[in-house]
Amino acid sequence: MARVEEKLRGLVRAEISGPEPEKLLNACLAENLPLIRPEGVDRWTLRLGVYEGDLSRLERLAESCGCELRILSRFGGSRTRKLLYRRLGLLLTAALLLALLCVSSLFVWEIRLVGADAISRGELLRALEDSGLRSGCFWPTLDADTLRDRMLLREPRLAWLAVNIRGSVAEVRLLQRAEKPELVSDERAADLRAARAGLVRRISARSGQVTVQPGQAVNAGELLVSGTLDSITAAPRRVQAQGEVWADTWYELTAICPLPQGKESGSAGPRERFALKFGGKRINFYQNGGKTIDGCDKIVHEYNLGIEGLFRLPLSVVREELRPYRTAEFSRDEAEEIGQRLLASLAEHIEGEIVFSGLSTAQVDGMTVVTLRAQCRENIAQTVDIIP
């Protein structure tokens, strides 16, 4: 215990030399100055210890007694207290951060959607916000059953959902409702007509009377399979024509772009600027944050001050990288890239396959025109009700 006290208060070992060092001992006793482990070296010298706070008093008494004081060593004291204060400050800071982390973990700062890919993320997030789940909400007050009921009422395309909250991250698992199959009524009378012009290649009719033949060219709206069945002995009977009519069709898709489309790095190097996001607010460490910077590509990197999968804080550091560029001539590779996008868009909108495609580019009035011409084989049959 005495060692701990010496460590905290500070122990100074000093050597006292003079003609009568005993006078100093008597003066210390008179002044009620505690001396620690005094020992005599010879007739004119003695060594003793004193607390760091009493050193100035010992120096004054030594001078009044005509003795010379020389400090031999120091132990603990102010340096130890500074170190303890520093460590205490670190402990308090860690405790404060831990408390903030515990408080922050009671709020939702990130919403992850799993499933229901056919519904846009924006629609789902708006529906969740109207149902009570939003970024920054206090999740212990959320009721999972109420949230589920509100969400299913607001979004009828969902069949089921569950919310799991872990480390300020709300994971919403969604199951999209299966679409009801179209019911075919036996009493419904309908024809199959051409949805677009084409050259008929193959006909597969399950009901109805075929009115065209393979190799025949048809226009949009032309009758392919009739739902009216003629009878020699009775009146015509009407049914719902069903089947598929495969035909060769032709498409021409055009994309118009400004002539200077390509980009090349300029002579100036990239620049960086930073911002801080706290919850839904953003603090920019630069001026004119909302101004568009011409001649630069902007790449945004956001770093959340948290640990992925463990917890997430409402504090993020945003780094924007600005890369200057200068325009260049429209290249063949870029034209082909646009052609591939047109081809992919066409493949999504036809019920069939693309047999052949060709790409051409032209420059008209300062614009680049990219044209895709494609031959497809698709089912052009379209059900059209027979109006009595």
Query: What's 71's domain CATH number?
Result: 3.30.70.260
- In this structure, are 200 and 137 located in the same domain? no
d(CA 248, CA 245): 10
- If asked whether residues 276 and 228 sit together in one domain, one would say no
Do residues 143 and 114 share a domain?
yes
- pLDDT at position 262 is 47
Is 233 strand, coil or helix? coil
Q: Are residues 243 and 281 in the same domain?
A: no
- Select from 307, 328, 349 the last residue of a domain: 328
Q: Looking at the domain assignment, is residue 50 inside a domain?
A: yes
Task: Look at the chain and count its residues.
Answer: 388
**Do 18 and 52 belong together in one domain?**
yes
Q: What is the pLDDT of residue 261?
A: 44
The residues of the chain scoring below 70 in pLDDT are 1-8, 77-81, 181-187, 259-269, 288-295, 307-311, 325-331, 366, 388
Q: Crossing angle for the helix pair 55-64 and 21-30, nearest 10 degrees? A: 130
Q: Could you tell me if residue 105 is inside a domain?
A: no
Residue keyed to tokens 């100074």: 12
| Listed residues 310, 328, 346: the one ending a domain | 328
Residue 256 lies in a domain: no
CATH number of the domain that 149 lies in? Answer: 3.10.20.310
Instruction: Identify the pLDDT of residue 289.
Output: 61
Domain assignment present for residue 204? The answer is yes
Q: Is residue 136 part of a domain?
A: yes
Provide DSSP, 68-85: EEEEEEEESTHHHHHHHH
- For residues 172 and 163, is the Cβ–Cβ distance under 8 A? yes
Q: Which helix (H) or strand (E) holds 230?
A: none
Tell me which residue has tokens 């009115």: 211
CA 341 to chain centre: 27
The DSSP line for 269-307 is: PPEEEEEEEETTEEEESSS-TTS--TTEEEEEEEEESSB
Instruction: Express each pLDDT in 360-377 by its tens digit.
Output: 888 777 678 889 999 999
Is residue 363 one of the residues assigned to a domain?
no
Contact 189, 205 (CB under 8 A): no
240 plus 266 within the same structural domain: no
Q: Are residues 240 and 194 in the same domain?
A: yes
Structural domain boundaries, residue 296: 262-328
pTM (2 d.p.): 0.43
Q: Rg for the chain (alpha carbons), in Å?
A: 44
Amino acid of residue 43: R
What is the DSSP-derived secondary structure letter of residue 240?
Answer: B
Structural domains counted in the chain:
4
Same structural domain for residues 226 and 199? yes
Q: Which pLDDT value is given to residue 90? A: 80
Q: Would you say residue 282 lies in a domain?
A: yes
Residue 366 lies in a domain: no
